[in-house]
Amino acid sequence: MNKVQEVQEIRLEAITFCKYRLQIANKSILLSFPQLLALRNQVNKHTSHEVLEQTINGSNMILLFMADREHLVLLDVPQLIGLQEEIETIFYLAHPTFV
């Protein structure tokens, strides 16, 4: 799987002032900001060195509730990492529309 495909597979974007859209394959999930924070927390837990190692040695898959348990999503490890990168981008990168 190359990088370009991964990026296409998982995409997180701010769509309005306080709504975010997470696209995973052909699933689209709308997230409020508190839901995004909760997701970030979940994802960071699952990508900590220790937990990630357990996952890789185990099933290699992760089940995540999203948007206040409205969605249950099954991710493999590359997708999980991709999701974390997308979230970090939203949290750390300068937003081009803000001046």
Partner 1 sequence: MLTAVRKQMSIHPEVMDLLNEQIAIEMKASASYLAMASWCDQRSLTNSAQFFYRQAEEEREHGMKIFKFVNEAGGAAISPSVADVNNDFESLRSIFESSLEQEIGVTQSIYKAFKKSRQVDDFASETFLQWFVTEQVEEEDVVRGIIDIFDLMEGMPLKMIDEKIPTE
Tell me the CB-side half-sphere exposure of residue 8, using CA atoms within 13 A: 5
**What is the closest distance, in whole angstroms, from the C-beta atom of residue 42 to partner 1 in the complex?**
11
**What is the closest distance, in whole angstroms, from the C-beta atom of residue 54 to partner 1 in the complex?**
18
**35 close to 66: Cβ distance less than 8 angstroms:** yes
| Part in contact with partner 1 (CB under 8 A); list of ranges 23-31, 38-46, 51-59, 69-77 | 38-46
**What is the closest distance, in whole angstroms, from the C-beta atom of residue 1 to partner 1 in the complex?**
26
For Cα atoms 4, 1, 6, give the angle at the middle one, nearest 5 degrees: 40
**34 close to 18: Cβ distance less than 8 angstroms:** no
Site residues for partner 1 per CB under 8 A: 14, 17-18, 33-34, 36-38, 40-41, 44, 89-95, 98
